Amino acid sequence: MKPVLLIHGGAWAMPDDEIEAHERGIANALDAGWAVLERGGTSVEAVEAAVVVMEDDETFDAGRGSFLTRDGRVQLDALLMNGENLRTGGVACVERLPNPIKAARLVLDESPHVYFVGLGAERFAMQHGMKLCDNMDLVIPREQKRLYAAQEADLKGLRDTTFSGPMDSHDTVGAVALDSYGNLAAGTSTGGTLNKAPGRVGDSSLIGCGCYADNLSAAVSLTGWGEPIMKLVLGKWAVDRVAAGSDPQEAASAAIAYLYDRLGGHGGVILLGPDGRIGLAHNTPRMAWGLATDVGKTLGITRN
Ligand code: ASP
């Protein structure tokens, strides 16, 4: 098989002055993930490598620099799934792991379980060799300012706290890959939504919601307002359409239309079929993405 790597760095109303940083972050992640596929690595390894780069980049809502919870902490969620055998690893509400996707990989590889949360997830990661950091190492001043501004707007009744709009930052990161052995993988990593309640888990790390991979259907990663995406189990909905014969682009567009028509939701999706065909759709003003194939690399910020 010819390998393919498709990644995203969020879908929202990215302002002009943030475009360069997003493009740079996407390019770096694409390079890291593609290098793995080029040397014959697996799709799981490539997805992990690409996501780690974006977690390490403060531009995105993943790893250090993520949105803060209502009480000013970073709480991270991530999922990694292997489409060959459906092995999956997920972590949620971790506060002391700069790279939750690495913990997800450990769960996938080393555990009979699929999903760990909070302290249990951190303990599992530590027992498998990961170093824990201080939560404050993940908090940056930009996000503290953003949180204070949101909380002030809430107090004045200027913000709808039940809704995370398409103009709000949705900088979750994700990747889908097909390796030369014909296997798919998908990964998604996020700091969730701004001012979220502590303990809130969004779609990103929930299997079949913000992420899914199965060689018999497709690999998918989503970003956007998590609650509607979860209610529709939208990742699984999209890959099932590919399994039923839809072209991945058709399935991606249909998923975003369904999200909006059914629940007024918004977001972006990337989709990759086992034959290497891709799909990408969003109903937010912009979406950051990158694609690497044997023909070359393309990246961009798509506008609606
Ligand atoms: N979907 C994520 C969540 O709701 C947020 C995002 O994509 O930015 O947690």
Which of 277, 268, 274, 278 has the alpha carbon at shortest distance from 8? 268
Q: What's the CA gap between 37 and 50, in Å, rounded?
A: 11
Instruction: Annotate 33-63 with b (16+ C-beta within 10 A) or e (fewer).
Output: bbebbeeebbbbbbbbbbbbbbbbbbbbbbb
Residue with CA at minimum distance from ligand 1 atom 4: 226
Q: Which domain holds residue 188?
A: 4-303
Instruction: Report CA-CA distances (Å) from 52 to 28, 142, 249, 270, 304.
Output: 10, 21, 26, 18, 28
Give the chain's end-to-end CA distance (angstroms, integer).
33
By most ligand atoms within 8 Å of CB, the mutation choice from 76, 223, 270 for ligand 1 is 223
Q: Which of 13, 103, 95, 50 is nearest to 285 (CA)?
A: 13
pLDDT tens, the chain, 304 aa long:
999 999 999 999 899 999 999 999 999 999 999 999 999 999 999 999 999 999 999 999 999 999 999 999 999 999 999 999 999 999 999 999 999 999 999 999 999 999 999 999 999 999 999 999 999 999 999 999 999 998 998 888 776 655 666 666 789 999 999 999 999 999 999 999 999 999 999 999 999 999 999 999 999 999 999 999 999 999 999 999 999 999 999 999 999 999 999 999 999 999 999 999 999 999 999 999 999 999 999 998 888 8
Closest atom, ligand 1, to C-alpha of 169:
8
Q: Which positions are annotated as active-site residues?
A: 172
Query: pTM of the full predicted structure?
Result: 0.96
Are 79 and 205 contacting, i.e. CB atoms less than 8 angstroms apart? yes
Q: Which helix (H) or strand (E) holds 116?
A: strand 115-117
**Secondary structure (DSSP) of 212-233:** EE-TTS-EEEEEE-HHHHHHTT
- Centre of ligand 1 from the C-alpha of residue 178, in Å: 24
Q: Of all protein residues, whose CA lies closest to atom 8 belonging to ligand 1? A: 170
What CATH number has the domain bearing residue 219?
A: 3.60.20.30
Nearest CA to ligand 1 atom 9: 192
- 95 closest CA partner among 193, 199, 187, 209: 199
CA pair distance 186, 175, nearest whole angstrom:
6
Specify the number of domains making up the chain. Answer: 1
How far apart are the CA of 39 and the centre of ligand 1, in A? 32
Which ligand 1 atom is at minimum distance from the Cα of 223? 7
- Ligand 1: lining residues by beta carbon, under 6 Å: 10, 61, 170-172, 190, 192-193, 202-204, 210, 223-224, 226
